[in-house]
């Protein structure tokens, strides 16, 4: 009887169903303490991310063998390890041991169970555990009312002008029962943290800290970043940078490039200005210094540009030289480089002269015209230059254009052929009175660039060396016994070697001589060497005084002729009575 009593007591302690039942009887031992199966396993408070482990032993306290065929766990925070190979037979007083681990992912109560199949009967062992740690609450103190921002939530900033700032004050509170460390960090641009207090980054339970998030947009439009409170607590940052943004096209690296353009022609570029920003703006000033570049269109300033709006500016390149040309375009505070290459104008067609012949007589005023063989596509300007090469040593300053001087300007409008001198297609010039060669040489330019052919066609006009020409004979001073002859003329060779005076007697009078030769070479040579003579070419007025013996009225008239190496002149006469 004593033996049976002891057995009954053991079975009762083991939770057996009958003090007198035979067979296996199972007991649950948790961490060395026997626990009812229905009570299960309670884990101590465990920090989130840490692990607590319980040792679980199932003992066969009966008098018969039993079988453990399966052991499984439910609940995401629980894992079983250390299991032997199953199924396993448990003899009386034999046991099976394994481990149950609790790894909380949050501070919430975590439940689960271990199901042990004993003799084909599943038995559930409840599992309970509490995760512990910091519980962070993040608030926007700038908002009214104060708002809480959850993990993966968004902190929105007001629209902010580019270059300016908007600030939101944040508060982080540890509502948990364990200390926690925060690491406030901004990932991205346009946002930054200020007033972060390093000593307050480890928060004891119910402690808090504050800092500022500052939005300073450097770009226009929707901007985002991320605020990391911890590695597992991220808040999205959102704001809009607002402002105007002008783009210019075609512009490459600040340069507006024009196509190669012949001097005298023009190339146009249209500059398009677009406001790609989200705020309206305007252009108030546009300028190009005086150069080969100009603004081709009249601008009504200011140019108002709403968001997405455009405006155009016409630019013109009219090269005034061959080679690379540059200038600048200034639009408000922006400066752009203007670049273009002036290429040589087209070659001129053949040139010809009209009007004046190859020779001219002294004191004549021939007119000369200038023509192109075919039209030229650009406006031409030019100068016609007169040069004179005398046969003698002295120039004749009277050989010049009717406008004065020995140069005259002309123009040939685009797509025409005739030069225009002032309002006429011909320009007169004086042939003078000195023998020699007149040469007319044209030069041409397109917008100041010389396009004169090399060699250029010239016009030559010969003033021949000839016998003297007498233009008039007059009586100068007269007395009872003498009179003065004033002989006017010219000699293109600037030489008069002799004069012949022929007298006609009055009616009823007789003259002892009617013809007097005069050697004038020395006198005229002296005259033509004076500066006074050089100012009048070869012109002269010679004075001869004739003394009469006897009757001063005996001479009716006098005629004079002159001669030089080229021959005798015409005769001129004057009456004395």
Query: Mind listing the pLDDT tens digit for each residue in 274-296?
Result: 999 999 999 999 999 999 999 99
C-alpha pair distances (Å), 383 with each of 157, 441, 458, 466, 487: 73, 8, 12, 32, 40
Q: Please give the pLDDT value at position 11.
A: 34
Which string of DSSP letters, residue by residue, matches 356-411? S-SEE-TT---EEEEEESS--SS-EEEEEEEEEEESSS---TT-SBTTSSSEEEEE
Q: Tens digits of per-residue pLDDT, 423-442?
A: 999 999 999 999 999 999 99
Give the Cβ contact number of residue 227 at 10 Å.
22
What b/e sequence results for 413-450 when a residue is b if at least 16 CB atoms lie within 10 Å of its CB, and e otherwise?
Answer: eeeeeebbbeeebbbbbbbbbbbbebebbbebbbbebe
Beta bridge partner(s), residue 112: 127
Q: Is the pLDDT of residue 570 over 60?
A: yes
What's the pLDDT at 544?
A: 95
pLDDT score for 122: 96
- Give the range among 12-21, 320-329, 444-453, 472-481 with minimum mean pLDDT: 12-21
* Range(s) of the domain holding residue 33: 2-132
Average pLDDT rounded to a whole number, residues 150-176: 96
Q: Say whether both 10 and 105 belong to one domain.
A: yes
Distance CA 387, CA 394 (A): 13
Kindly state whether residues 256 and 336 are assigned to the same domain. Answer: yes
**Is the pLDDT reported for residue 5 higher than 60?**
no
Check residue 9 and give its pLDDT: 32
Tell me the C-alpha distance between 178 and 376, whole Å: 96
- For residues 385-394, give the mean pLDDT: 94
Nearest to 159 by CA among 214, 240, 80, 95: 240
**Total-model pTM:** 0.58
Phi, psi of 523 (to 5 degrees): -60, -45
Could you give the number of structural domains in the chain?
5
Query: Which among 242, 263, 293 is the end of a domain?
Result: 242
pLDDT above 70: residue 470: yes
Asked if residue 556 has pLDDT above 60, the reply is yes
Q: Are residues 382 and 481 in the same domain?
A: no
Q: How far is CA 355 from the centre of its chain?
A: 54
If you compute the radius of gyration of the chain from its CA atoms, what whole number of angstroms results?
62
Report the percentage of the chain scoring pLDDT > 90.
85
Task: Please determine, for residue 485, whether its predicted confidence score (pLDDT) is greater than 80.
Answer: yes
Instruction: Say yes or no to pLDDT of 8 above 80.
Output: no
Q: Are residues 445 and 486 in the same domain?
A: no
Sign of CA dihedral 524, 530, 533, 537: positive
Give the largest CA-CA distance in the chain: 219
Q: Tell me, what's the pLDDT at 47?
A: 83
In three-state secondary structure terms, 435 is: coil
Alpha-carbon distance of 329 to 254, in angstroms, equals 10
> Do 194 and 149 form a contact (C-beta atoms < 8 A)?
no
Q: For residue 56, how many other CB atoms are within 10 A of its CB?
A: 24
Most confident of 90-94, 175-179, 391-395: 90-94
Boundary of a domain, candidates 225, 242, 259: 242
pLDDT tens figures, 346-362: 999 999 999 999 999 99
Residue 153 has pLDDT above 90, yes or no: yes
What is the pLDDT, as a whole number, of residue 89? 95
pLDDT over 90 (residue 508): no
Does the pLDDT at position 3 exceed 70? no
Region 324-353: mean pLDDT is 96
Backbone region of residue 115 per phi and psi (left: phi > 0; alpha: psi in -120 to 50; beta: other values) = beta
Shared-domain flag, residues 293 and 208: no
Q: Are residues 339 and 428 in the same domain?
A: no
Pair (226, 199) in one structural domain: yes
Q: Is the pLDDT of residue 550 over 90?
A: no
- Burial code (b: 16+ CB inside 10 Å, e: under 16) for 177-214 equals ebebebebebeeebbeeeebeeeeeebeeeeebebebb
Instruction: Give which of 551, 558, 559 is closest to 508, Cα–Cα.
Output: 551
Mean pLDDT confidence for 206-227: 96
Evaluate whether 558 touches 501 at the Cβ level (below 8 Å).
yes
For 63, other C-beta atoms within 10 Å of its C-beta total: 15
Give the end of a domain, one of 108, 132, 156: 132
- Band of residue 21 on the pLDDT scale cut at 50, 70, 90: low
* 389 and 297 fall within a common domain: no
We report the CATH number of the domain holding residue 61 as 2.60.40.10
In which band, very low, low, confident or very high, does the pLDDT at 55 lie, cut at 50, 70 and 90? very high
């Amino acid at each position: 009887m004593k033996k049976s009593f002891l057995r009954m007591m053991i079975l009762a302690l083991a939770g057996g169903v009958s003090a007198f039942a035979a067979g296996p009887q199972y007991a649950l031992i948790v961490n060395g303490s026997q626990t009812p199966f229905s009570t299960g396993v309670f884990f101590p408070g465990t920090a989130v991310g840490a692990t607590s482990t319980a040792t679980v032993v199932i003992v066969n306290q009966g008098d018969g063998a039993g079988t453990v065929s399966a052991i499984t766990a439910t609940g995401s925070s629980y894992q079983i390890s250390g299991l032997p190979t199953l199924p396993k037979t448990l003899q009386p007083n034999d046991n099976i041991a394994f481990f149950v681990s609790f790894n909380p992912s949050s501070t919430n109560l975590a439940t689960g169970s271990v199901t042990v199949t004993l003799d084909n009967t599943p038995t559930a062992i409840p599992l309970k555990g509490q995760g512990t740690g910091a519980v962070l609450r993040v608030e926007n103190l700038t908002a009214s009312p104060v708002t809480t921002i959850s993990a993966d939530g968004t902190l929105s900033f007001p629209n902010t002008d580019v270059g300016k700032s908007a600030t939101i004050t944040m508060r982080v509170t540890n509502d948990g029962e364990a200390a926690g460390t925060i690491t406030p960090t901004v990932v991205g641009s346009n946002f930054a943290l200020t007033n972060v207090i390093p000593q307050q980054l480890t928060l004891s339970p119910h402690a808090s800290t504050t800092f500022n998030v500052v939005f300073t947009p450097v770009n226009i439009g929707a901007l985002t970043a991320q605020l990391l409170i911890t590695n597992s607590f991220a808040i999205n940052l959102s704001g809009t940078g607002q402002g105007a943004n002008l783009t210019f096209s075609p512009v490459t690296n600040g340069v507006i490039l024009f196509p190669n353009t012949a001097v005298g022609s023009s190339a146009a570029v249209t500059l398009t200005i677009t406001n790609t920003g989200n705020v309206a703006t305007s252009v108030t000033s546009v300028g190009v210094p005086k150069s080969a570049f100009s603004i081709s269109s009249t601008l009504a300033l200011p140019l108002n540009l709403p968001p997405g709006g455009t405006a155009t500016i016409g630019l013109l390149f009219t090269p005034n030289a061959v080679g690379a040309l540059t200038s600048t375009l200034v639009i408000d505070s922006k400066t752009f480089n203007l670049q273009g290459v002036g290429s040589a104008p087209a070659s001129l067609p053949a040139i010809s002269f009209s009007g004046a012949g190859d020779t001219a007589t002294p004191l004549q005023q021939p007119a000369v015209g200038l023509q192109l063989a075919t039209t030229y596509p650009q406006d031409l300007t030019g100068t016609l230059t007169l040069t004179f090469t005398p046969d003698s040593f002295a120039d004749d300053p009277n050989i010049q254009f009717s406008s004065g001087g020995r140069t005259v300007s002309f123009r040939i409008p685009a797509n025409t052929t005739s030069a225009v001198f002032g309002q006429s297609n011909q320009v007169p010039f004086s042939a003078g009175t000195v023998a020699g060669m007149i040469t007319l040489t044209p030069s041409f330019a397109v917008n100041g660039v010389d396009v004169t052919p090399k060699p250029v066609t010239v016009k030559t006009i010969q003033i021949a060396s000839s016998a003297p020409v007498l233009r008039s004979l007059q009586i100068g001073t007269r007395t009872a016994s003498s009179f003065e002859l004033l002989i006017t003329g010219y000699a293109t060779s600037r030489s008069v070697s002799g004069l012949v005076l022929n007298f006609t007697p009055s009616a009823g009078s007789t003259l002892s001589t009617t013809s007097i030769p005069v050697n004038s070479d020395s006198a005229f040579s002296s005259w033509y060497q004076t500066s006074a003579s050089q100012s009048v070419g070869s012109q002269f007025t010679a004075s001869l005084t004739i003394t009469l013996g006897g009757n001063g009225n005996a001479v009716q008239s006098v005629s004079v002729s002159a001669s030089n190496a080229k021959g005798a002149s015409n005769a001129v006469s004057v009456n004395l009575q």
